[in-house]
Amino acid sequence: MSEASTKKQTAESKPSLNINARDYGLLAALVVIVALFQFWFTDGKLLLPANFNNLISQNAYVVILAIGMVMVIIAGHIDLSVGSLVAMIGAVSALAIREWGLPVWASILISLLVGAAVGAWQGFWVAFVRVPAFIVTLAGMLIYRGLAIVFLTGGTIGGLPDSYVAIGGRWIPQWMGEVNNLDLFTLLIGVLGALGFIASQFRSRAKLNARELPTESLVVFYGKLVLVSAAMLFFAYRLAQHNGTPYVLILLGVLVLTYSFILNRTVFGRHIYAMGGNRFAAMMSGVKTKWVDFFIFVNIGTLAAVAAIVTTSRAGAAQSGAGNFYELDAIASVFIGGAAVQGGVGKVSGAVIGALVMGVLNQGLSIMGVDSAWQQVIKGLVLLAAVAFDVTNRRRSGTA
């Protein structure tokens, strides 16, 4: 091998900026949106401790549904039924407690089973009958909303027990005590989360170096560690100022870590990406595409049940109008988070950031007193802009 070739390979193996423009652009967009609402539109109200806490509790359903939706969209499908499914399963959950006299744990179990069964029903039509997911879930949107109205003949079932309401509307007891009116347990979670993030980033960088793959420059790498860790600590600090850690935040953390592992570290996750990238090639490679499609819809049905439990428990009642436009928030979160319209591209982390964008919009517009109709207009424009950006970016990449 010549000396010139050796120098070229050495230069290519050295760390460079290698910045993922989409990921960092998404984070920058989130920071800008938060800053605009905090300092301009809401006069500093957005990040008040109480509002910060509500930002999590009120928008937990967006994160839960976005996690399931990103898998559906990566595989090249869409699900329009999740909002109606939230309303129907919320009704079933409340009926199980109030009318059937079942304990809370049994109500939760029944809700999850109903969600999985509905997902299996839709997955059957999509995977084995080959009806397009758009049509199947559009029909489901009408069916489940109608059933929610039928189940809730009075429009609402309230009077749910405190143990159920705590899931979406209560906080972990401050068993470690307080220091200067700050919950120590919440601060500890923030510190552990920041340390866990730092450790995972160093581990990922070490793996890339071991395989002689390109890595970020040290400036970008350490800058990311500092900014994200600082954001996590600030997040914990704000929560510690107001009641501490919501139960639903622990649930969200578990879901994000679990599904990040599934998509990035399991055969099932790799098959989802393969199908979205090239379904025919995936079939020729031995991927059982029908069963993967089937279980994708079983999964999102189950997560819709989780969202239904969280939504119903936070409201303290099941309502026939619950879940309205939830599918819009979930789909918008996924596309804002970098998923491709054609499928094959997307991340759980991106969907979560997209969900945070939608959550900030929901919270900020509500603080401003913007009418709900105009909120839908604004969120629709945000969705259109995100998809247009993705399409334009890919067209330019293809041209290049």
DSSP string, 352-395: HHHHHHHHHHHHHHHHHT--HHHHHHHHHHHHHHHHHHHHHHHH
pLDDT tier, 25 (very low <50, low <70, confident <90, very high otherwise): confident
8 A C-beta contact, residue 114 and residue 170: no
Instruction: With cut-offs at 50, 70 and 90, classify the pLDDT of residue 397.
Output: low
Position 22 pLDDT exceeds 80: no
pLDDT score, position 254? 96
Distance (Å) of CA 269 to CA 75, 287, 339: 10, 11, 15
CB 164 within 8 A of CB 97: yes
Angle at 345 between CA 344 and CA 346, to 5 degrees: 130
- 227-232-237-238 Cα dihedral, nearest 10 degrees: 100
CA neighbor of 115 nearest in space, from 283, 312, 280:
312
* CA distances for 90 relative to 16, 159, 202, 312, angstroms: 50, 14, 42, 6
Write out the two tokens for 41. Answer: 């539109």
- pLDDT score for 169: 87
How large is the average pLDDT for residues 115-122? 98
**Residue closest to 26 by CA, chosen among 354, 246, 325:** 354
Of residues 293 and 174, more confidently modeled: 293
11 falls in which pLDDT band (50, 70, 90)?
A: very low
Whether 308 contacts 118, CB under 8 Å: no
User: Per DSSP, what are the bridge partners of residue 318?
Assistant: 157
Q: Is the pLDDT of residue 18 over 60?
A: no
Position 6 pLDDT exceeds 70: no
Query: Taking a C-beta distance cutoff of 8 angstroms, is the pair 183, 245 a contact?
Result: yes
Strands (DSSP E) found in 285-352 = 318-319
Highest mean pLDDT among 19-33, 232-246, 370-384: 232-246
Percent of the chain with pLDDT over 70: 93
The DSSP call for residue 125 is H
d(CA 312, CA 295): 25
Lowest-confidence region among 147-151, 154-158, 236-240: 154-158
| pLDDT at residue 250, rounded to an integer | 94
Average of pLDDT values for 317-334?
A: 92
> What's the pLDDT band for 95 if we cut at 50, 70, 90?
very high
Please determine, for residue 89, whether its predicted confidence score (pLDDT) is greater than 50.
yes
- How far from 249 is each of 109, 193, 234, CA to CA, in Å? 20, 13, 15
Q: Are 186 and 240 in contact (CB under 8 A)?
A: yes
Question: Would you state the pLDDT for residue 21?
Answer: 61
pLDDT of residue 388: 82
Cβ–Cβ < 8 Å for 241, 181: yes
pLDDT of residue 5: 47
Phi and psi, residue 305, nearest 5°: -65, -40
pLDDT range class, residue 111, cuts 50, 70, 90: very high
pTM of full prediction above 0.85: yes
What is the pLDDT at residue 16?
A: 43
Which tens digit of pLDDT belongs to each residue from 179-216?
Answer: 888 999 999 999 999 999 999 999 999 998 998 888 88
The three-class DSSP label of residue 156 is strand
| 110-124, 313-327, 368-382: which is most confident | 110-124
φ, ψ dihedrals at 114, nearest 5°: -65, -45
Average pLDDT, the chain: 89
Residue 280, classed as helix, strand or coil, is helix
CB 351 within 8 A of CB 337: yes
* Mean pLDDT within 330-356: 91
Q: How many other C-beta atoms lie within 10 A of the C-beta of residue 283? A: 14
Residues 6+ apart with CB under 8 A from 144: 81, 84, 85, 87, 88, 118
pLDDT score at 398: 62
Segment 227-248 mean pLDDT = 92
Identify residue 373 by its one-letter amino acid code: A
